[in-house]
Structure formats: structure tokens, C-alpha cells
Amino acid sequence: YMNFDELYLYCYYVAGTVGLMSVPVMGIAPDSPATTESVYNAALALGIANQLTNILRDVGEDARRGRIYLPQDELAQAGLSDEDIFAGRVTDKWRSFMKNQIKRARMFFQEAEKGVTELNQASRWPVFASLLLYRQILDEIEANDYDNFTKRAYVSKAKKLLALPAAYARSVM
């Protein structure tokens, strides 16, 4: 993708639409003061955040298949090339680039969070769980010192089990 606008459009088609289609299934709480548009925007943001997280997690796997889903203009601005990606070089430039990509994904998660409390009560827990668990993948990329070439970032079973009560607590507030 030449730039983030193109990557965003890809994320919209493969995951944002899933978020949008989920809103009628999950339902908006009858007492929600939020506008329907804001709930849909939050659902779209969650889909975008999840797909961006997938892309960041899978950089190495995708590179081994000859694919790069990262914005080319931002790679160039960071002083990185496709060759750096295919070679799997974890450098200071790569770390800086990844920090910015993770920051953007977290902004989408933050936007998504605003809408979860507006969903029907029964739908909040699974959505919060998805959000918290996927966001933790970003933490794992950081914990791996941004080596998403040779290390696959994943959330351990123990961390998943710890996240579920937190998601439940957030869903009943």
C-alpha cells in the first residue's frame, strides 16, 4: 500500500465491514445516549484496530510470502525499504517505525472503546474481551523488542484468563 489511506481502505474492506455488520447483531442499548452513528464509528474503529494489529503481528510471516502490507510512504520516511522487511532487520529505524504503527493502532482501539458501553449489556463482555486481548498483542510486539520478523506476538493463556475478568468488569460498569 502506497500510504495509510490505501491501507485503511483495505482494513475497512476486510475487517471494518465486519464491525459494522456486528452492530445490529450486538444491538445498541435502549438507554444509550449515544448516536447510532457514533456506535457504528466505534465498531468500525474496532475492526480497523484489529486488522492493523494482525498486520503488525504478521509482518515476518507476510514478508516470507513476499507480501508487505505496511504503508510504503511511511517506510520510506523512516528510512526503511522493502529489502529491510524481507531481510527481517530489527534496527532502531524499524523500532521507531513500529512504535508509530502501534500508536496508531492503539488510537483506533481507544476510539472503539467509546462505543462498547453503548451496546446491549449481553454483548459488551465479548466485545470488551476481543478489544482487550487484541490490544495485548501490541504489548507483546513491544515485549519482543519489535521483532515481528522471527517472533510471533501472541497473548499467553494465562494473560487471556486474566483479561476475561477485566473485560467482564468493564462490561457491567
Q: Is the dihedral of CA 114, 97, 153, 157 positive or negative?
A: negative
Q: Which domain holds residue 82?
A: 4-172
Rounded percentage of the chain residues whose pLDDT exceeds 90? 99
What average pLDDT does the segment 48-52 reach?
A: 98
- Residue 173, pLDDT score: 79
- Residue 75, pLDDT score: 99
Q: How many CB atoms lie within 10 A of CB 56?
A: 21
What average pLDDT does the segment 92-121 reach?
A: 98
What CATH number corresponds to the domain at position 36? 1.10.600.10
How many domains are there within the chain? 1
- Residue 115, pLDDT score: 96
